[in-house]
């Protein structure tokens, strides 16, 4: 007798934003039947890679239809920090382009046959966290966004008035890349725009606290923190249970 078993399926998906060809990753559990909530995953500064694939698989196992978006372009995947920083900075300085790229990925997720289009969220890590917040600031029709150790700044704080999504920012309390002044400005931005927002700061955690490839030396400014990683994942799951 044949027995059904869950299998996580991953498929590369080519799509376009303007004239630029992008390649994201569609990940889902084929044992789950019918439409389900969709989650957009936005990569870190080096581009879409194994880390985001693993996170997408973890989300698929929770029953979500997942699309790991590509902001940089097909085959643009950086291995050294200097190139990654230059690439990320290009988009941080051009928020219009950043929003266009992430919205192109959102359109792919929204149109997939397994996606319940009324129940979509976006999450992102580091650069991706910044991007998820920009997606919300652009007025995207999504239920919620989650930033994991992302930059919280914006070039135009008044854009927060366009936010329709609930916002969850998961932050390393000792992150030197997102200093207290930036956190305070984000809180003021959210408060002034009357957004439904939460910010959780994890003590002892610096930048990249969910990235198991980041080492464990806090003095470098970026390091893995197992407690903060697990707690922030649970916070995301609780957030999804509420918005979905």
Topology of the domain comprising 8-243: Rossmann fold (3.40.50)
- Name the token pair of 184: 């305070």
Q: Which of 74-88, 119-133, 216-230 has the lowest mean pLDDT?
A: 74-88
Average pLDDT over residues 117-142: 98
Q: Residue 2 pLDDT more than 60?
A: no
Global pTM reads 0.96
Q: What is the pLDDT of residue 5?
A: 57
Q: What φ, ψ does residue 21 adopt, rounded to 5°? A: -85, 130
Report the sign of the C-alpha dihedral through residues 51, 25, 119, 142, in that order: positive
- pLDDT grade for 6, boundaries at 50, 70 and 90: confident
How large a percentage of the chain has pLDDT more than 70? 98
Q: Residue 69 pLDDT more than 80?
A: yes
Sequence-distant (6+) residues with CB within 8 A of 6 are: 29, 30, 31, 32, 61
Q: How far apart are CA 151 and CA 207, in angstroms?
A: 10
Q: Residue 3 pLDDT more than 70?
A: no
Q: How far apart are CA 151 and CA 92, in angstroms?
A: 10
Q: Residue 116 pLDDT more than 90?
A: yes
Which residues face 66 on adjacent strands? Answer: 27, 39
Q: How far apart are CA 171 and CA 114, in angstroms?
A: 31
127: number of Cβ within 10 Å: 26
- Name the token pair of 169: 């920012």
Among all chains, which residue has been given the structure tokens 């957009």?
40
Q: How far apart are CA 63 and CA 17, in angstroms?
A: 28
Q: Residue 11 pLDDT more than 90?
A: yes
Q: What is the pLDDT of residue 1?
A: 37
Q: Residue 66 pLDDT more than 90?
A: yes
For residue 32, give the nearest of 56, 55, 64 by alpha carbon. 64
- pLDDT tens-digit readout, 176-195: 999 999 999 999 999 999 99
- pLDDT tens-digit readout, 192-240: 999 999 999 999 999 999 999 999 999 999 999 999 999 999 999 999 9
| CA–CA distances in Å: residue 202 to residues 34, 56, 172, 235 | 37, 23, 5, 12
- pLDDT tens-digit readout, 143-162: 999 999 999 999 999 999 99
The one-character DSSP state at 216 is S
Q: What is the pLDDT of residue 49?
A: 96
For residue 173, give the nearest of 224, 207, 125 by alpha carbon. 207
Average pLDDT, rounded, for the chain: 96
In a 10 Å sphere around its CB, with 0-12 CB exposed, 13-18 middle and 19+ buried, how is residue 175 labelled?
Answer: buried
């Amino acid at each position: 007798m044949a027995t059904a078993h869950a299998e996580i399926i991953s498929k590369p998906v080519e799509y376009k934003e303007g004239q630029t060809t992008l390649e994201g990753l569609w990940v889902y559990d084929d044992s789950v039947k019918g439409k389900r909530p969709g989650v957009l995953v936005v990569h870190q500064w080096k581009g879409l890679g194994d880390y985001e694939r693993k996170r997408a698989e973890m989300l698929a196992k929770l029953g979500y239809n997942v699309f790991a978006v590509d902001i940089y372009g097909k085959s643009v995947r950086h291995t050294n920090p200097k190139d990654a920083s230059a690439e990320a900075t290009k988009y941080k300085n051009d928020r219009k382009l950043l929003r266009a790229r992430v919205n192109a990925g959102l359109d792919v997720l929204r149109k997939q046959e397994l996606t319940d289009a009324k129940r979509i969220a976006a999450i992102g890590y580091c650069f991706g966290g910044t991007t998820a917040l920009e997606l919300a600031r652009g007025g995207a029709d999504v239920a919620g966004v989650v930033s994991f150790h992302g930059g919280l700044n914006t070039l135009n704080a008044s854009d927060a008035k366009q936010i329709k999504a609930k916002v969850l920012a998961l932050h390393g309390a000792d992150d030197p890349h997102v200093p207290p002044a930036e956190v305070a400005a984000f809180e003021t931005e959210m408060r002034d725009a009357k957004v439904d927002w939460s910010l959780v700061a994890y003590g002892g955690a610096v930048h990249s606290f969910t990235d198991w490839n980041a080492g464990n030396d806090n003095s470098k400014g970026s390091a893995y923190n197992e407690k903060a990683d697990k707690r922030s994942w649970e916070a995301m799951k609780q957030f999804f249970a509420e918005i979905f």
